[in-house]
């Protein structure tokens, strides 16, 4: 008598399920690694942009020029023969505490007498007109360059008085301010000279300590009595500074007149 034997094959699927799970796990790890790399890279870019934006914002807020005072000087032949209008403005300026350095080569001074407006650049700036102020000397003195501002002209852009300003340092402990490279830092003090020669006052012998011998050029401004004057200083970066004043009802016999504040 034969015994019936059944031969069975055992199928074990556990190993296949384990391999599938491992593949999914590895894929998840790779995806997480890629995502983490993207997040790290993005966060680094955002941090750099935030730092740059913060630095620019700080510079825009803190870097501004302070106008200490503005004095007007009238042209004259002698103590009793003085022009009726102001011919030169002497503007004393400094920087706010914590301000970034200001390069006068990049400074724009806008002045208006209520009728005419001049946008003035520093005398050594040759970027806008293709040349610097006529007869400007980076090695010369402030007095020599002031004389050139008041009396000289050139074909382009025209009278120095209408297109440029000059400056002189008063306090410069770090010696950063020169005629060719006028950099003003916190604590420095300087004078900005603006020509205001009127077309009716061009025959006088001198303006302040500058001998003009009747050769001064028309600035296109008329700063007489009861004249509202506005001056705006626009640096390369930082806040603009504005001064507005009304000239007195009479200059009297004074050669120098305090106009601001």
Environment class of residue 193 by beta-carbon count within 10 Å: exposed (0-12), middle (13-18) or buried (19+)? Answer: buried
> What letter does residue 39 receive in the DSSP assignment?
H
- Could you list the pLDDT tens digit for every one of the 261 residues in the chain? 555 555 555 555 555 556 777 778 788 888 888 888 888 878 777 766 665 555 454 444 545 899 999 999 999 999 999 999 999 999 999 998 878 899 999 999 999 999 999 999 999 999 999 999 999 999 999 999 999 999 999 999 999 999 999 999 999 999 999 999 999 999 999 999 999 999 999 999 999 999 999 999 999 999 999 999 999 999 998 889 999 999 999 999 999 999 999
The answer to whether the pTM exceeds 0.85 is no
Name the 3-class secondary structure at 243.
strand
Instruction: State the CB neighbour count (10 A cutoff) for residue 255.
Output: 17
CB proximity list for 133: less than 8 A, separation 6 or greater: 123, 124, 145, 148, 149, 152, 160, 163, 164, 166
For residue 72, whether the previous peptide bond is cis, meaning omega lies within 30 degrees of 0, is no
The long-range contacts involving 146-152, CB below 8 angstroms and separated by at least 24 positions, are: 146/193, 146/210, 147/210, 147/211, 147/212, 148/123, 149/123, 149/193, 149/195, 150/87, 150/88, 150/195, 150/197, 150/207, 150/210, 150/212, 150/216, 150/217, 151/212, 151/215, 151/216, 151/217, 152/217
CB proximity list for 181: less than 8 A, separation 6 or greater: 105, 124, 138
């Amino acid at each position: 008598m034969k015994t019936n034997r059944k031969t069975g094959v055992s199928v074990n699927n556990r190993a296949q399920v384990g391999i599938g799970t491992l593949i999914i796990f590895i894929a998840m790890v790779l995806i997480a690694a890629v995502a983490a790399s993207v997040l790290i890279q993005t966060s680094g870019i955002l941090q750099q942009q935030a730092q740059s934006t913060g630095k620019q914002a700080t510079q825009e807020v803190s870097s501004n020029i302070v106008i200490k005072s503005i004095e007007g000087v009238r042209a004259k032949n002698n103590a009793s023969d003085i022009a009726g209008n102001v011919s030169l403005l002497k503007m004393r300026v400094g920087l706010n505490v914590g301000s970034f350095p200001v390069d006068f080569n990049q400074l724009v001074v806008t002045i208006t007498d209520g009728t005419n407006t001049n946008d003035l650049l520093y005398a050594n700036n040759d970027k806008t007109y293709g040349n610097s102020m006529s007869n400007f000397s980076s090695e010369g003195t402030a007095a020599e360059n002031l004389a050139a501002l008041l009396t000289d002209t050139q074909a382009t852009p025209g009278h120095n008085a209408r297109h440029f300003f000059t400056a002189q340092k008063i306090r410069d402990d770090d010696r950063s301010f020169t005629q060719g490279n006028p950099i003003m830092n916190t604590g420095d003090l300087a004078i900005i000279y603006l020509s205001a020669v009127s077309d009716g006052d061009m025959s006088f012998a001198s303006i302040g300590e500058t001998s003009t011998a009747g050769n001064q050029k028309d600035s296109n401004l008329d700063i007489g009595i009861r004249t509202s004057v506005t001056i705006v200083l626009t640096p390369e970066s930082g806040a603009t500074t504005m001064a507005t004043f009304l000239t007195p009802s009479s200059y009297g016999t004074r050669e120098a007149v305090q106009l601001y504040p």
